[in-house]
Every structure is written in structure tokens, then in C-alpha cells.
């Protein structure tokens, strides 16, 4: 069985080489994103694996389908970089991979703690040898109400951790009624000191936190996002941070991050005004979509990509 692995980083390549014999799979590894120009790489594979860093155009899906690709496994939980319905309509099945939610949950807690302890401005000042406490007085999680939006595997892992901190937890999720802590979104926004986003991005959740909803939040609240950038109207968030409506934000994902995050921009001009402004602000922590990136999650991701392809082939064989 052949599988073409697109957008394969060196760290993933090591794992694909190591694990593929166990699955009886021969991988073709390429750092390139799938495109009409390199379709020949997939000519021997019914299954391909893609990364999450590049949006896959419908024209590329069509070219892949014509080259015989019937199955795409994305090395991510989110599938928002692929038009899954379109793929289905041309006979390509798209699936995501499960990986340990713990890395993202740990990271979310770290961002919450950084936000409520003003870590960015404290460290910025310490870096220039200004060790005064100034505005460094923080808040303790046990005194706060945390609103978790999205209670899938990651949101649930975040809540599990929060219980250990003794804070009050509120949760909401479209479609799922998490027995404990569940409240309507409006109430969650109104009552929470920290709002953390763990819901998938789709047409219903695009700009879930827009100007109106940010206005509903407590004055001095914090926003944490390790989900998808477009869950937040970034312009509205920047205004709320500038006006003091929100006390801080910690964002591992950002609208328009594609093509910027994961690249070296030290000597290149960044066009995203929002990113530049957020990085300037002392109360906005930005990291480049890093939360998932742990040894364990990367191993799970590669292993489950291989398992997905093997399972697809065996489903096909057995009708
Ligand atoms: C996802 O799994 O959807 C993520 O956001 C992590 C991805 C960058 C691998």
C-alpha cells in the first residue's frame, strides 16, 4: 500500500519512516503542499496525508481525484483547510486524525496563567533589566470563573485541569449538553473572567466572538484561543484590548496566520496589521500555532495517519 505524505516536515518524516513498515505502508514523503503542479507524486497512491498548514483548493482536490486519490487524511483535528463536502461530491473521503488532547490542554492552561499574571509585560521588563513590579499584581485562578466554549476532547481536557485549580467552570457547546457546568453562550460570556475557545471553525462559529459578543463580556476579562483564529473578529478584539474592555488575550492562532506562522519573517515584511498591533500590545500573548506540538501528539498524528489509510483500504477491500 502506497501513501503520499504532503507537507511533511523533517520531524514527521523521521516518524513516518520509522512507523510505516508496521502498517505495511510505503510512504512517499514531500515537503510540498499538494497542488495541480505536483499531482504526479500521488499517482500511485489512493490515500494521501496532508498537513494543516496549506489550504487545499477545490481545483487541487479535483486534480487529485482525477489522479486516482480516493482518501485524504489530514494531520490535524480541524478540517477547515479542506472543503470536505466538495471532496465528498467528487468521491474523495476526508478524515482527520485523533491525537492526545493533553498537549493543547496543558498549553491552554499555560496561556491562561500567563494572561492573568501579565507574563508578557513582566518578562518584557525583566529582559531590559527593569525588575519593578509595576502592574504585575495578578489574579489567582481559584478566584475566577472560566468559560469553556467547545467541550470536545480538548475542551474536556481543559476542564479536567481547571478542576485542580479550584475555579468556577462554565461551559457551552452547540449540540452537546455537557451535564456539568453547561450554560447558554450569552450567560457564559456575561459571567466569565476568562473565555477559552475550543470549538471547530465552521460557518456557524466564524467570528463567534464578534464585537457584540465581546461587548457582552465582563470588563477586564481575558480571551484565550488555541482553536482557530477566525473564531474571533480580530479587529474587534484589538479595539477591546486597546480600550481596556478586555484585560488581555493569549492567542495561539490568529486570523490570517496562514503563510506567516511557521515561517521565518525576521527579514521579511509582515502585512498583517492585526498581528503587528497584537505583538506590540503588552497584554496580548501571541504564539505561532504551537499548542499541539509535543512529542506525544506528533507521534499520535503520524501513527493515526497511517492507521487511517490502512483502515480506509481495508474498508474498501471488505466492501
Ligand atoms: C489541529 O489539530 O486542528 C490543530 O490545530 C493542530 C494542527 C496545527 C496540527
Residues 189 and 248 in one domain: yes
Integer Cα distance of 217 and 211 in angstroms: 10
Same domain, 212 and 125: yes
* Residue 115 sits in the same domain as residue 191: yes
Residue 78 CA to ligand 1 centre (angstroms) = 6
| Ligand 1 binding pocket mutation candidate from 12, 51, 78 (most atoms within 8 A of CB) | 78
Which atom belonging to ligand 1 lies closest to the Cα atom of 53? 8
CA of 110 to the centre of ligand 1 (A): 18
Among protein residues, the one with the nearest Cα to ligand 1's atom 4 is 76
**Same domain? 146 vs 40:** no
Q: What is the pLDDT of residues 156-201, one digit of tens each?
A: 999 999 999 999 999 999 766 555 789 999 999 999 999 999 999 9
User: Look-up: residue for cell 468556577?
Assistant: 168
Q: Are 19 and 116 part of one and the same domain?
A: no
The torsion defined by the Cα of 24, 30, 33 and 38, in degrees rounded to 10, comes to: -100
For residues 33 and 57, state if they share a domain. yes
Residues 239 and 302 in one domain: no
Q: Measured between alpha carbons, how far is residue 81 from residues 58, 88, 112, 274 in Å? A: 11, 15, 27, 21
Distance from the first to the final alpha carbon of the chain: 17
User: Hey, what's the cell of 2?
Assistant: 502506497
Candidate from 292, 295, 300 with most ligand 1 atoms within 8 A of CB, to mutate: 292
76 lines ligand 1 (CB under 6 A): yes
pTM of the predicted model as reported, rounded to 2 decimal places: 0.94
Look up residue 225 and give its DSSP letter. E
The C-alpha cell at 94 is: 476526508
88-92, 160-164, 264-268, 315-319: lowest mean pLDDT where?
315-319
Cell of 259: 503563510
Same domain, 212 and 230: yes
What residue ranges in the chain does DSSP mark as E strands?
2-5, 26-29, 47-50, 71-74, 93-95, 145-149, 168-172, 194-197, 221-225, 246-251, 284-286
Instruction: Give the chain's domain count.
Output: 2
243 and 303 co-located in one domain: no
Q: Tell me the pLDDT tens digit for each residue of 32-88.
A: 999 989 999 998 889 999 999 889 999 999 999 999 999 999 999 999 999 999 999
Alpha-carbon dihedral sign for residues 112, 115, 51, 15: negative
Whether residues 14 and 32 share a domain: the answer is yes
CB distance 234 to ligand 1 below 6 Å: no
- Give the mean pLDDT of 193-212: 97
133 lies in the same domain as 43? no
* CATH number of the domain encompassing residue 305: 3.40.50.720
Q: Is the CB of 78 under 6 A from ligand 1?
A: yes
135 and 254 housed in the same domain = yes
> The domain containing residue 85 runs over which residues?
2-100+295-317
Cell of 8: 511533511
Give the active site residues.
Answer: 228, 257, 289
Amino acid at each position: 500500500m502506497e501513501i503520499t505524505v504532503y507537507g511533511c516536515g523533517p520531524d514527521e518524516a523521521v516518524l513516518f519512516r520509522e512507523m510505516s513498515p508496521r502498517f505495511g505502508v510505503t510512504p512517499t514523503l514531500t515537503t510540498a503542499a499538494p497542488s495541480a503542479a505536483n499531482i504526479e507524486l500521488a499517482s500511485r497512491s489512493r490515500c494521501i496525508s496532508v498537513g494543516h498548514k496549506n489550504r487545499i483548493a477545490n481545483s487541487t482536490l479535483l486534480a487529485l481525484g482525477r489522479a486516482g486519490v480516493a482518501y485524504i487524511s489530514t494531520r490535524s483535528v480541524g478540517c477547515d483547510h479542506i472543503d470536505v463536502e466538495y471532496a465528498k461530491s467528487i468521491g474523495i473521503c476526508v478524515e482527520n486524525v485523533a491525537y492526545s488532547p493533553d498537549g493543547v490542554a496543558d498549553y491552554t492552561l499555560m496561556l491562561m496563567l500567563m494572561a492573568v499574571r501579565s507574563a508578557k509585560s513582566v518578562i518584557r521588563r525583566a529582559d531590559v533589566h527593569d525588575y519593578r513590579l509595576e502592574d504585575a499584581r495578578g489574579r489567582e485562578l481559584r478566584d475566577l470563573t472560566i468559560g469553556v466554549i467547545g467541550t470536545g476532547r480538548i475542551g474536556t481536557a481543559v476542564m479536567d485541569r481547571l478542576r485542580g485549580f479550584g475555579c468556577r467552570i462554565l461551559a457551552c457547546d452547540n449540540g452537546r449538553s455537557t451535564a456539568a457546568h453547561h450554560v447558554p453562550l450569552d450567560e457564559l460570556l456575561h459571567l466569565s473572567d476568562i473565555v477559552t475557545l475550543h470549538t471547530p471553525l465552521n460557518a456557524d462559529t466564524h467570528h463567534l466572538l464578534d464585537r457584540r459578543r465581546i461587548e457582552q463580556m465582563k470588563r477586564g476579562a481575558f480571551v484565550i484561543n488555541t482553536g482557530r483564529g477566525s473564531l474571533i473578529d480580530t479587529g474587534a478584539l484589538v479595539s477591546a484590548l486597546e480600550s481596556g474592555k478586555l484585560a488581555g488575550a493569549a492567542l495561539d492562532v490568529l486570523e490570517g496566520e496562514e503563510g506567516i506562522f511557521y515561517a521565518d519573517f525576521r527579514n521579511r515584511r509582515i502585512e498583517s496589521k492585526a498581528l503587528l498591533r497584537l505583538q506590540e500590545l503588552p497584554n496580548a500573548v501571541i504564539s505561532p500555532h504551537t499548542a499541539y506540538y509535543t512529542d506525544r501528539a506528533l507521534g499520535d498524528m503520524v501513527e493515526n495517519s497511517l492507521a487511517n489509510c490502512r483502515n480506509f483500504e481495508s474498508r474498501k477491500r471488505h466492501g
